[in-house]
Structure 1
Amino acid sequence: MGNTQAPTFSAVGAFREISPDLYQELGGDKLLPSFVEAGDFDGKHFALPYYFGSRYMFYRKDIWTAAGLEVPQTLSEFTESVKKLKTDTQSGFAMGGQDWRNGISWVFANGGELATVDGTTWTSTLSDPNTIKGLEQWQEVYQGASLLPSTDRDVAYWDFINDGTDGSAPAAATIMAPGWARWSIGDLVKNDEGKDVRDGMVDDSRFDIFALPGVDGGVAPVFAGGSNVAISAKSKHPELAENLLRIIFSADFQKMLGGAGLGPANSDYASSLGVDKFAQTMIKTAQASKLTPAAPGWAAVEGAFVYEDLFKEIAEGGDVKALAEKYDAKLTPMLNGQS
C-alpha cells in the first residue's frame, strides 16, 4: 500500500503484527525510519518500507541559462527565478493548484507540520506560524510562476518540460516530480521495439536536475513517495508470507530495487541506486524527506480530498490564516478517525 495508507490500515487491525525478532531479521534499524513509523501502531510493527522515491526539480537548463539564471541556493532564490521565467505560454514552475503532495514541501522547509500527536490524540496544525509561512510561500510561487489551473492535481508535469507536446497545455521551464519521472523526459528515440520513448535526459545541456533548496540553503524536506508492505491479518499462510518478506528484504532483492531506480528499504543497499546525479540527488533528498502524519484517520482524509480543497482555495488567493483555521477545525476530528 502507499506509505500514507499504512497508518490507517495498521490502526484498524488489517495487518498481522511483525514480531520484534522478524523485524530485526528483515533489517531493523537499517530500514527507512519514517516509513517504519508509518506502519507502527501501539508500539508494534505492522507494515514495513517496500521502496522509497523522492522528489526533486527537473528543469530546462537551456531556458534557465538563456535567462541568465543559475541553480538557486535558497528557497527564496528559487521563487524569484521561476517567477522571472513565467511568460504567457510558459510556466516558470508548473504546479497544479491542488497539488498538495508537492506543495507541502514549502511547509516542511519552514519547520511547519501538518499535524502533531499528544499520546494518541492528533491535532491539525495548519494554523502554526511556521506552517502558515510555508503555505504563503507556496501561494506566492504558484501564483507567480505557474499557468496551470487551480483545479489541477496529479498532473503529468513531464509533458510540459519536453519539446514536442501537442500544444494543448503551456510549456514549463521547471517541474517537481519523483526521480523516476526522468524516463518520461528527454528527446524522443526509438526503443528495441521501434516505439518512440524518451531518452532519459541524455542531453544535459537542455535538461538537468537540482534538489529543492531550503530556506537558508541546503536541501528542503520534501514529501517522500513510495510504498509499504504488510501481511494481511487474515492470511491463511502467514508463515509463507513471512518467507516472502525475507526474500523482499534480502540483499539480492534490495539491490534489484535500487537497480530499477527505486530506493531500497534498507540503507545498506542505497548504493545500488548508482553514483550518477540522479541517484545521488534521490538519496540526498530522501534523507531530508518527510511523510504525512501517521494518524489513524489519514486514509479518510486523503479519500475526502481535504488537502486538495485547501490548496485550491490557497491557489485562488484565499487568506491563508483564515483557511488554516477553517481546515484545522475540519481535519482534527478526521485525523482521529471521527466523521
Structure 2
Amino acid sequence: MTMTIEQEIRQKAAELGFVACGFARADAAPDAGPRLLRWLDAGRHGEMGWMEARKSERASPAGLWPEARSVIALGMSYAPARDPLALAGEGEVGRISVYAQGGDYHKAVKKGLKALARWLVERAPSELKVFVDTAPVMEKPLAAAAGIGWQGKHTNLLSREHGNWLFLGIIYTTLELQPDAPGRDHCGSCARCIAACPTGAITAPREIDARRCISYLTIELAGPIPHEYRAAIGNRIYGCDDCLAVCPWNRFAEDAAANRAFLPRAELAAPRLADLLSLDDAAFRAMFAGSPIKRIGRNRFIRNCLVAAGNSAAPDLVRAVAPHRADPDPVVAEAADWALARLSASS
C-alpha cells in the first residue's frame, strides 16, 4: 500500500530521532498572535526586547514568511532518568535545569530538522524553512495546532506520551499538507504546576509573568535579581523545572537515554557551588563549551551561584563567596555582599 507524503514524513522524522510529528495549516493558530501582543503590551516579557522587536513576524507564520502554506511540528524527547527535584534540599550544590545538563539542544534538533528538510525537498520539491527556538516562531501554539500535544496550564507543550519533556522544532513549507486534528486539552482540574511555581510566575492557567519566572531571572535577566525572589530561587543556578517536574502526565514519558546528545554531563548533574564560584572567564568557557549555559556568560552565572550560596545556610561557602565582593562587575559584587549577609545571619 502506497504511503501518503504525511506518512512518509512521519517515518523519516522517527528515523531522525523525533518522537512526535504533526501537521497544520500555516494559519492554524489564529489566537496566538493576539495573545502574544496582549502579553507584550502588559510588559510581561521583562527585558526580552527581542520578543518585542520582531512581534509582527512572531505573531503568525505569514508574518515571517507569507509563502508558507503548512507547518510541520516536531518534538524530540529529553525526559530525564532522575527526578529533577531530587536536589532541592542540597544547599551546597547547584540545580541546573534538565534541558541544559547535556549538549546544546539547538544543535541536535537543528541537525535533525536539516536532515528532514533535505530529504523532503528531494522527495517533494518545495521551499521550506527550519526553526529551533531562536527564530520569531510560536512553537508551542503551532505544535498544539498540529496535534502533537496541548499547552498545559504552565504554558509549555504537554503530550500524553511524552509529558512535557519535548524540544520543539518547526518547519514552514510551501507544500499543502493534510493537517492533523489539533491537540485536545487533558489538564482537567489539575493545577499542580501552578501551585509548584516558587515565585508565583504562573498567575492563572496558561498565563505567565516572565519577570517572576526563575528561568527568566537566572537566564534572561542581565542585572541584579530582585531581592523579593532571591530566597525562592533556592539552589537553582540555571533555569527551573518545578512546574514541569510535577506534571502527572510525565509518568508516561520514558527517559531519553537513547538520544546521547541529551544525556546529562556528570559535572552538571550536581555541581558543587564552591567549585563553580572558583571559575574565571576562561574556566567558565571551557567548562560550558557546547552547553546552552555558555550563552549567559560567566558573570551572570556567578551571580546565580552567589544567590544560591546565600540560600545554602552553609558557612563553609563563605570562603568561596568572599572574593567576589571585589568583582569588577557591580552585579556580581552586590550578589556577593548579599550572600555573605545571608550566610552570616544563618550561622
TM-score by length of 1: 0.28
**Structure with higher RCO (Cα < 8 A, 6+ apart):** 1
